């Protein structure tokens, strides 16, 4: 007997100003993300060919996607918007929300190293490259808070693209709608992904990726 289909995940959005003023830390290195007990949402921006394949097959593949190249994921919606220019940049004009199993995401974090740490520790090339970049406001101004970016390659990219994904949703239409508010500086109308600080409970992982503790 075939198993029942998994219920689809809901992508939650909320007022930008409410989250900025009441929910998010204003400085430090924090993994801001939308998550529940089972999954974490990460974002990627792609060309239409890769995005269409991913949404149709609910995994990454096809002629345009390469598992031999590093692929970057971001947990922070606004950092993704800054990087992709709110879906206006070439080959980044389709924004995907990817629900990833938490155990997979935690494994990604446990393997993440900066390029500097790879050299300092004399480690072989890590399958996960860690970067902390300045977070940005909707208009692109730098924040004091840092946003995490994770570059996946080798066996970790294969597990991400083929095993750990629970759901992929194209959110480009929402992005385009909200960008109109950004261009008109209508921040009271702007909605973004609902996010909160993701708990990195493993102390070794927390130290390795330099995440800050909320005060």
* Helices and strands in the chain: count of H runs, count of E runs: 8, 12
Q: Say which residue, 6 or 185, is predicted with more confidence.
A: 185
What is the pLDDT averaged over residues 28-50?
98
Express each pLDDT in 113-172 by its tens digit.
998 888 777 657 889 999 999 999 999 999 999 999 999 999 999 999 999 999 999 999
Alpha-carbon distance of 150 to 132, in angstroms, equals 9
Express each pLDDT in 1-37 by its tens digit.
444 456 799 999 999 999 999 999 999 999 999 999 9
Domain boundaries, the chain: 36-208
Mean per-residue pLDDT of the chain = 94
| Enclosing H/E stretch for 165 | strand 165-170
């Amino acid at each position: 007997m075939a198993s029942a289909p998994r219920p689809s995940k809901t992508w939650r959005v909320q007022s930008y100003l409410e989250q900025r003023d009441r929910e998010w830390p204003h400085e430090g290195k924090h993994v801001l993300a939308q998550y529940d007990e089972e999954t974490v949402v990460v974002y990627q921006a792609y060309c239409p060919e890769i995005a269409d394949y991913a949404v149709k097959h609910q995994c990454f593949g096809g002629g345009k996607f390469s598992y031999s190249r590093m692929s970057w994921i971001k947990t922070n919606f606004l950092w993704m918007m800054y990087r992709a220019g709110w879906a206006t940049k070439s080959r980044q004009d389709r924004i995907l929300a990817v629900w990833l199993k938490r155990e997979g995401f935690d494994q990604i974090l446990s393997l993440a190293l900066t390029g500097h740490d790879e050299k300092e520790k004399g480690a072989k090339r890590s399958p996960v490259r860690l970067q902390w970049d300045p977070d940005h406001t909707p208009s692109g101004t730098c924040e004091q808070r840092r946003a995490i970016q994770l570059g996946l390659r080798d066996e970790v990219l294969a597990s991400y693209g083929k095993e750990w994904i629970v759901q992929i949703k194209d959110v480009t239409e929402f992005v385009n709608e909200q960008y109109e508010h950004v261009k008109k500086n209508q921040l009271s109308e702007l909605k973004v992904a609902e996010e909160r600080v993701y708990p990195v409970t493993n102390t070794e992982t927390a130290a390795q990726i330099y995440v800050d503790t909320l005060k």
